[in-house]
Amino acid sequence: MDDDDAPLAAPAPPPGFARYFPLERPPPPPRTFELGLVLGGTVSAGAYTAGALDALVELLDAWEATDPPHRVRLPIVTGCSGGGITAGILGLYARKAHHPMPDDFAALMATAAMPDNPLFDVWVNRVDGLAFLDPSDLAGGAAASLLNCRRLDEIARDMVRYGETPNGFGRAYLPDPYRMILSVTNVEGIPYRFDVPAFTGWTGGNYAQHADYARFALPASGIAADPAGARRPDEFWVGRNPSGEGFADFGTLMQYALAGGAYPMALRPRALTRPAAHYRYRPHVLRTPAGAICEPLVPDWSSLPTTGGQVGFTGIDGGVFDNNPVLLAHRELAGMAAPLEPGPDAARRALLLIDPTLHQPRAPGRVAGGMGGIGLAALGAMEAGANYLTADLDMMADPRIFSHFQLVPVRPDRKTAGAAAAATTVLHAFGGFFCRAFRVHDFMLGRLNMRDYLRRVLILRADNPLFDGWTLAERQRRALDADGAPLPTVDGATPPAAYWLPVIPDSLGPAPGGYAGILPWPAGQLDPATLRPALGQRVAALLAIAQKDEISGLLANLWFDAAEGTISARITGDIVAAFRAALERHDLLPRAGGAG
């Protein structure tokens, strides 16, 4: 065999590669459960995820305060789209005192500001839809997005100041540093070249990977310094006064979070930079007869433009492609090639996906219509298929598997689940921006659903070693049957395999009962016709920019000038009509007899 025909040698891994990407990670410490969070959702539906996390933090704080017989740890949080923004907010106040919101709809509606709870303040109080329609950002004659994103910039600046505020609060269940992985779509892409060694002189094909992600670590000190050498070479170490490659301020974190939630065209893309060295640590697993091998993917450095060792790119919504946040979290918990133990008697690690935009299963049907109908259906299919792998969701829905869990909106009183149970998911999840009552509803629904889920679903069999430190009295107080219903008949003779216990017990007292009496469905809270003036101004300003940029020729301009008002009114009317139809399908219009 000629040298030209010899197999290419595997690239030399960068320093520490095997340590950062082990094939299998050691098990958790005794009496410790590790829970990896995967946060999904997009635009205004982030209010649901925020409410779920509000309850989770409150419950974990209360459980830790009891000197519990077992511990729960959150070693990794991954987020895509709006879930990335929520993961970033959680990181900013991971070391600050938590001020949870009450399970009281009227009280939440009356809470105009809550700066000590940014989950509520950002997702409920501050993402006001009218601010997105303000045309002042178009005064320069250019459009970066269909919606005005200055309010998002203001929120980001406030969150940076919040993150920079010194604090001394600690949470044992969050690691030091708090680590997260944010998905982002890299518009330019990371180039890779694939050579064909059988052909001498073949230069190979250049492939761009657009599904990207960034790692962040927030030390408890809040200072961008790493005296212990714990920083990974592929992550941003975030804090005050950063200095050196790989160290970043809170503004960098917020820009990546905003980029990961920048819905294409609707919200402004973000110009991002990162050390080129991050891309030396992109693993892939080879399955060989001798076993699994983990090696680095090597970019085509000659096609990856860098400046001072930094790579610049345009970042948009991390849900455009399947960035596989579930796999990223799985690898952080179990390793590159190891499964998570699925059995209820042995599971000690699990993934919890929280995504309010997942829909209920529905029977597929033929797409009607011509080119436009097919095009819109194709775009919808692309968006739906970009979120998660079917196999991952199947594991989360399988009642036999106790290492994969999934929280989605549920309203038992309305017999709805998935996106249909949430109010902010209307109009592709943009509708919640224009009605605070929708966001309040979904925040509280997230809280209620999380409390129910931890009581009845995130449970393990009592013979799991996790519960070895539980006393009989504790077991009797928390015992459940396999469906999560209380089981009062446990005694010292009851075999542990005959009953179940919660991984995160609810120490807050009795949870609220049926949702109907405490959480009204927010029908009739929004008349889309009231948005017509602001929407009309935004549409007219965007059309003026389109005329300047896209319509050329004297006759074309004269025609457009004459018809501009009609065109603007028609587009505005169509949007309002589409909004009204979406509200009607979602049962959010006023009901007969004026009932809300």
Catalytic annotation, residues: 81, 317
Q: 437 by DSSP, 3-state: which?
A: helix
Contact 91, 252 (CB under 8 A): no
Distance between CA 543 and CA 540 in Å, rounded? Answer: 5
* Bridge-based pairing state of the strands 410-411 and 416-417: antiparallel
Please state the φ and ψ torsions of residue 472, each to the nearest 5 degrees.
Answer: -60, -40
DSSP state of 176: S
The DSSP H or E segment spanning 575 is helix 554-585
Distance between CA 511 and CA 441 in Å, rounded? Answer: 17
Quick count: other Cβ atoms within 10 Å of Cβ 62?
17
Contact 526, 588 (CB under 8 A): yes
In DSSP notation, 426-488 reads TTTTTGGGG-HHHHHHHHHHHHHHHHHHHHHTSEEETTSGGGTT--HHHHHHH-B-TTS-B-T
Contact 189, 304 (CB under 8 A): no
Please state the φ and ψ torsions of residue 387, each to the nearest 5 degrees.
Answer: -85, -60
Of all residues in the chain, what percent are helix, strand and coil, respectively (each to 5)?
A: 40, 15, 45
Contact 506, 531 (CB under 8 A): no
Contact 33, 73 (CB under 8 A): yes
